[in-house]
Amino acid sequence: MIAKLEPNEDTKSFNILILENVTEGEYKEADSAFTVKDSRIFLPNGQHSTPIDIIRQGMRTWEKEDFTPRTDDVIQERLYCIRWVETINNNNGKEETVLHYRAPNSEDYRRNEKVISLLSERFEDWQTKGYIPSRKIVPGYNTTQPIRERGWTYWHHLFSPRQLLMFGTISNLAECYSKDQTEYLGILLGLAKSTDYNSKLCRWNPREIGDKSEQTFSNQALNTLYNYAVRSVTEMQNSFLMKLHPNRIYGEGAVNLGDARNISQYCDYWITDPPYADAVNYEEISEFFLSWYDHWIQRLFPNWYSDSKRSLAVKGHDHNFRQSMVVCYCQMTHYMPDNGFQLVMFTHQDAGVWADLTMILWAAGLRVTAAWTIATEISTALKKGNYVQGTVLLVLRKRTETKPVFLDEISHKVEDEVRRQLDNMIRLEDFSDPNFGDADYQLAAYAAALRVLTGQPIEEIDPEKEILRERKPGEVGVVEQLIRRAVKIACDHLIPKGLDANLWKTFGPMERFYIKGLEVESHGEYRSGVYQELARGFGAAAYTDLLESTRANETRLKSASEFGKKMLGTFGSAGEAFADSLVRQCLFAAWLTVKNEGTREGMDYLHTELRDAYWTNREKIIGVLEYLAVLRHAASMEHWQKDSQGAALLSGAVRNDHV
């Protein structure tokens, strides 16, 4: 199915044609066309474009009474495609579903107008009663985006008329027909969960098997879209209905809302998910849901507050961030028995952030006794962008060891603990169905370092003074140095699968980054944060020169052909520069093999460039080429097919080469 733009000369606009069962040629033509690219809007013929910022200059901010664009608004919205499902019996007599797509007809437009009419009749009353949001969007790091990009100033602007009508009706019926408070709360929970899957921020995902709309928070931002998806009532059941498996807990229980800095109640176990140095602005994006809840919270839970408490959020950019976190964990430690423990969920890939966490837990009198890396993100868009797939669960107990150690002792202990942690994970790994991603091993290295660093006092470091000390821009503290060292140990320890360990030891930092990066890429990993952390671990300062793409969820390395003649130096002339490395010479020789459809030019180059070093490095050359040759078997490495095949031919020629 494709959408094709057809000029409408009468209105100086375009009709959107929806065509099913198109030919392969038509599909490729549509796939190569675009109307939005690089922050510009293009005409379908691609001959004229306008910067989106210019278009936004004429955009107005929406008012509270708006729920559709006004006729004179610069940015409009229209229904342009309808998808439905047909159930049929196939040739084997089994039921299967067929997806259909078509452009809207006059009846669809009539129904759309009826939706707007029905909502108009109820809009003001429903806002007053809290059935639909009436809150204004408070500008912030994330919440300014819909204001800036679309002029949406109230939370209900993030929903289409059909969505507001559906959710408002459910909210109305919940109040009228719920038998008790529990049933009422259950419906409201389902309602708010459904808003995540049915807003104007839900992108359409054209998958190979069964297109679908993604949830609003497929990543932790408020991304406005040019083509969003609206679900029907029947398509809401998967998000609205929750399958719960209740377990009875005997004893008294209470749910309290409060500030962790003001805890005054003993608990055996504290479970926390602390701020990730502002990686996610929870207090802002929570207002998306609070806009649907605020009216009901005040009625059902009079003692609760119904705002996000932005001003009280512990923020990473505040000068007192570390001190506030210490107060939180000190309070929990104080109100915990000696045999109790705390469980901290933590996900970050910055050594400085982990160093801060180390000092915070250390200053709070806690020690890390165990760490478990678990997969917390399912295979959705959350795995894209700069997000790690796993979370480290840190088990913390009160620190009882009082005998101090010295820094030089700690350094060796960190190295041993990191190796032990990684070896344990490797022993658990099922390589046919991997449990851990490359980023998870890095997280495990951080956690292993924390286990050592928080175990007992360190003679040269006073954690309380270190927490309060003002730091110079770019300053790397002792603890951060130790944690960075842990990541380097992890990088060195995890030899790419299929590569000889002795060959790995001969590589320089840039070579190691490139070869390990190819393994990461072969696993379908395209998050820039993973490559950043690899570069830190290997000390590959100029790693961006090796990247073909640096986009957040499309980061990858250059292939042999993409390098071509770029970054090519004389072998061995500049020590550890990538241009002069053996890996770079092998990549160039593989490219020559592909370019000339034979191994002669590649072999001649290796003999000429390396001279006598060719024979002393022959086994290493074979090892590098054979590693590159395997890449063609990885599903995510289609761009390596020809180069990998060239490397395979060349490795055979080198192996059979004799004096």
Helix (H) or strand (E) holding 622: helix 618-630
The lowest-confidence range among 146-155, 445-454, 640-649 is 445-454
Q: Under a CB-based contact definition with an 8 Å cutoff, are residues 161 and 68 in contact? A: yes
Q: Under a CB-based contact definition with an 8 Å cutoff, are residues 317 and 325 in contact? A: no
Q: How many Cβ atoms from other residues are within 10 Å of residue 585's Cβ?
A: 25
What is the C-alpha separation between 151 and 174, in angstroms, rounded?
Answer: 32
What is the C-alpha separation between 131 and 598, in angstroms, rounded?
Answer: 71
pLDDT digits (tens, 9 = 90+) for 63-101: 999 999 999 999 999 999 999 888 888 888 888 888 899
Residue 72 CB contacts under 8 Å (≥ 6 apart), including other chains: none
Q: What is the CA 580 to chain-centroid distance, rounded?
A: 35
Helix (H) or strand (E) holding 357: helix 351-363
Please give the structure tokens belonging to residue 45. Answer: 């013929």
Q: Rounded mean pLDDT of 629-647?
A: 93
pLDDT value of residue 386: 40
pLDDT value of residue 200: 97
Q: Under a CB-based contact definition with an 8 Å cutoff, are residues 306 and 297 in contact? A: yes
CA-to-CA separations, 309 to 271, 282, 312, 314, 331, in angstroms, rounded: 21, 11, 6, 10, 20
Residue 229 CB contacts under 8 Å (≥ 6 apart), including other chains: 202, 203, 204, 213
Amino acid at 432: S
Q: In what order do the strands lie in the sheet with 269-272?
A: 269-272, 341-346, 390-398, 366-375
pLDDT value of residue 389: 52
User: Among the ranges 48-57, 540-549, 616-625, which has the highest mean pLDDT value?
Assistant: 616-625
pLDDT value of residue 316: 63
What is the C-alpha separation between 115 and 134, in angstroms, rounded?
Answer: 19
Query: Is residue 441 predicted with pLDDT exceeding 90?
Result: no
pLDDT digits (tens, 9 = 90+) for 204-231: 887 766 788 899 998 888 999 988 999 9
What is the C-alpha separation between 359 and 461, in angstroms, rounded?
Answer: 10
Residue 449 CB contacts under 8 Å (≥ 6 apart), including other chains: 354, 358, 414, 417, 418, 482, 483, 486
Q: How confident is the model at residue 349 (pLDDT cuts 50, 70, 90)?
A: low
pLDDT value of residue 659: 63
pLDDT value of residue 378: 46
> If you compute the radius of gyration of the chain from its CA atoms, what whole number of angstroms results?
29
Domain spans of the chain, in order of start: 105-247+279-307, 260-276+315-485, 501-655
Query: Is residue 514 predicted with pLDDT exceeding 90?
Result: yes
Query: Three-state SS string across 148-171, please?
Result: HHHCCCEHHHHCCHHHHHHHHHHH
Q: Is 450 exposed, middle or buried, given 0-12, 13-18 or 19+ CB atoms closer than 10 A?
A: buried
Q: Is 93 exposed, middle or buried, given 0-12, 13-18 or 19+ CB atoms closer than 10 A?
A: exposed
Answer yes or no: pTM beyond 0.75: no
Residue 60 DSSP class? P
Q: Under a CB-based contact definition with an 8 Å cutoff, are residues 359 and 450 in contact? A: no
Please give the structure tokens belonging to residue 366. Answer: 């806690």
